[in-house]
Structure 1
Amino acid sequence: MAKSQVTFNKREKEKKRLSKRVEKQQKKEDRKASAPGGGLENMLAFVDENGMITDTPPDPSKKIKIKAENIEVSIPKREREEKPALRKGRVEFFNSSKGFGFIKELETQEKFFVHVHGLLEDIAENNIVSFEIERGIRGMNAFNVKKWVDMPKPAIVSAPIPEKESDSDSEMNSSPETQEESAG
């Protein structure tokens, strides 16, 4: 007769596997039974009028009524910031052999890429330049770059200031009527 293919070790391993499975199922049921929360009411949270999360519902007497027409559902259009078209900056870096560089705007300290094709005249490092910006593939690029030329200040032309006459001169040049008034 042939021997049984099921050995003692195989039976023991199968028993251990079954007992582990039963223990695991029992632990799972115990966790479900003793789980905190116990339902939907315990999972709800409320936000009070100050924005704090609480477990008590809000007071209905403090409720504010809002008309449905006043609620804006659409996303408000972003207002474009009106920046001056012409900006002023300093050339931080410029490699004339490779044809590119960076300009740092004086007001916002932002850096903008500049390519030789965007130049109106030759520039060098530390030059103060005026430029415009446009959106490029990798960010904002400067174009129409030229050296900054300060606007000439208007010449102030004034009439010559008359010299102050001394008291003795004014008495001699004045009429006799004014002399009587000043003496009197």
Structure 2
Amino acid sequence: MIVDDHPVVRDGLRGIFEGVPDIEVVAEAGDGHEALARARSAAPDVVLMDLRMPGLDGVGAIERLAADHPGIRVVVLTTYDTDADVSRALAAGVAGYLLKDAPREELQAAVRTAAAGGRVLAQRITAQLIDGLGRKPAAAPTRRELEVLRLIARGAANKEVARALLISETTVKTHLKHVFAKLGVDNRAAAVVAAMERRLI
């Protein structure tokens, strides 16, 4: 099953598997909710899952699929390769993580590998993970940085955070920059999600 919110991407992927004797595209979906419905009716062995989609995103759909259909193997196929995206997907239990610039032979091989119970990672992702193992663990966010993040999680803008903590907006931005680096993310929403997953807030 192919899950992507862009019809042209789904068309392209379907074309990659046309004529391949041992692979059949049994369903398509444009978002996570539709993917769950299609999984129930089509019962695919492998799902190629985009990460960023409206409504229920890829990781949310992966977690639901793992709970409702543990036999289905999910391979992420995305343009995003940030540490935060990779970590969330791997934590959700994916069988693979590939990037959309992968050649057709690699995609076909990945589906076969996943269907056989194996795992597959894009070479760039493998390199990132190995590089990450060699780094010193990032320092934990400070108490003040977590105070900023808690307010951000409640929907406060930088100006409101500054007013509440009696600090300048520039200081708020500095704290956020440090939090992003420590959590391995690149935006406010991802920082909140990462902090909640680690039970920091």
Please give the range of the TM-score, normalised by the shorter of the 2 chains.
under 0.3
TM-score in terms of structure 1 length:
0.15
Higher helix proportion (structure 1 or 2): 2
Q: Larger radius of gyration, structure 1 or 2?
A: 1
